[in-house]
Amino acid sequence: MNHAEVQSLDRRFSRGWTVLSLIDLLLLTAGFLLVRHLRDPRYGGIWILKVGTVMVYQQLFLLRNRKRILSGANLDKIWGVANILSLSRGVLIALLAGFLFTQRPSGIVGWLPALLYTTLATLDFFDGYWARRTNTQTTMGELLDQEYDALGILIAVILVIQWDQLPVAFLYVGLAKYVFAWGISWRKSRGQAVYPLPSSYMRRRLAGFQMGILAVFLWPIARPPGTLLAELIIGVPLLLGFIRDWLLVSGALDPEDEGYRKIKGIFYRVGRIWLPVILRGAFAAAMVIIAATAFRPDSFPAAWITAYLPQSGLLTVIYAVARLLLLLVLVAGRFTSTSALLLLLLEGLRIFLSRLDPLGAAIVTATLLLYLFGPGRYRLGVRPPARPTSDPVSS
């Protein structure tokens, strides 16, 4: 690449960064005027400070990584559709930060944090999908994806903790990525080796699902102990994964070590093959228990709701049938991810609107684990999957 091309790319980056800064400024101004009108001028100033700080951080992140961005591929697409979707996530994260360190809003506004986080989590799928579909992957998109995942989780975790949905100990979920990155920088500054991380199925799976349950925790109806149970199932393996990854990048753990590979192979066989079969058997037992009581008038998640509905009996039947059908699909080992997410929404609704009973706790635990590990062997209606030809421990 000659000097003229380098200057052209540099100007293109600068123009895009300037346009992005102007958009942030317009959004800050509009938001300030809206908040000032709805509440008071003093709160408008506090709001613009919180949202503006996050926006400035995002802009500085782009400037700090300018050289890496301009040394990647598809440089003519750094301001393309995929990265615009990613940058939109950044705007939503900044708006979400406007709710930090305030009382939880009531009424319809109380659902806005959950809506913002759900939207940015959904965009996390679409920006990557569009980049792969159009072959427009860029270094900028990769960096934004990693940074916005971490920043969004941190802000969402702080909100969930400040609204008493989780104990403060779970702040590590939001800080782990930044502590990990700081540790790598610290090692490099001291001239110590930093080893590459091997690929991991569970690393991305846990991070993605952490975003999903945080969106649910931001519902105004969400409350412990249901939130605590779900976060323990996801957050503890996430923490253990960060500890393992640190041992790998620091060289304290060799991914090719025979003992490590043997332990990993045991976890693979138990978690990916046999545990799902046990969980699907537990779902079959849950179906029997639920079918015995599911169609009673008082079996709806919150019986007080049915008193205000003209077709409460029909609604109870629809809820029970949907619950049983999802359990049946999971027992069969089909469409596991989609069915597990839908069942978690139904069970979460029931638990948040009524109470966490032993059956609900068992279903939530089994559903989360089945979503993470997959359906395992002996799926009904399909041929058993072929044995992997490659070493599963290295996957």
- Please state, rounded to an integer, the average pLDDT across all residues of the chain: 87
Contact 287, 328 (CB under 8 A): yes
Over residues 336-378, the pLDDT tens digits come to: 988 999 999 888 888 888 888 888 899 999 999 999 888 988 8
38/210: higher pLDDT: 210
| Mean pLDDT along residues 201-229 | 89
Band (395; pLDDT cuts 50, 70, 90): very low
Residue 123's φ and ψ, nearest 5 degrees, are: -65, -25
249/293: higher pLDDT: 249
Residue 394 pLDDT exceeds 60: no
Measured over the CA atoms of residue 107, residue 109, residue 113 and residue 119, the dihedral's sign is positive
pTM: 0.87
The pLDDT value recorded for residue 2 is 64
How large a percentage of the chain has pLDDT more than 90? 58
Distance CA 332, CA 335 (A): 9
Distance CA 148, CA 391 (A): 33
Over residues 244-287, the pLDDT tens digits come to: 999 999 999 998 899 988 998 898 888 888 999 999 999 999 99
Largest interatomic CA distance in the chain: 76
Contact 246, 183 (CB under 8 A): yes
- The DSSP annotation for 245-264 comes to HHHHHTTSS-TT-HHHHHHH
Distance CA 149, CA 89 (A): 9
Band (170; pLDDT cuts 50, 70, 90): very high
Give every CB contact of residue 51 below 8 A, 6+ residues apart in sequence. 28, 31, 94, 95, 97, 98
Residue 387 pLDDT exceeds 70: no
Distance CA 162, CA 102 (A): 8
Question: Long-range contact list for 278-285, CB < 8 A, 24+ apart?
Answer: 279/366, 279/369, 279/370, 280/330, 280/331, 280/332, 280/333, 280/370, 280/375, 280/376, 281/331, 282/362, 282/366, 283/327, 283/330, 283/331, 283/363, 283/366, 284/327, 284/331
Least confident of 114-123, 285-294, 386-395: 386-395
Residue 90 pLDDT exceeds 90: yes
Residue 390 pLDDT exceeds 70: no
Band (391; pLDDT cuts 50, 70, 90): very low
Distance CA 375, CA 380 (A): 10
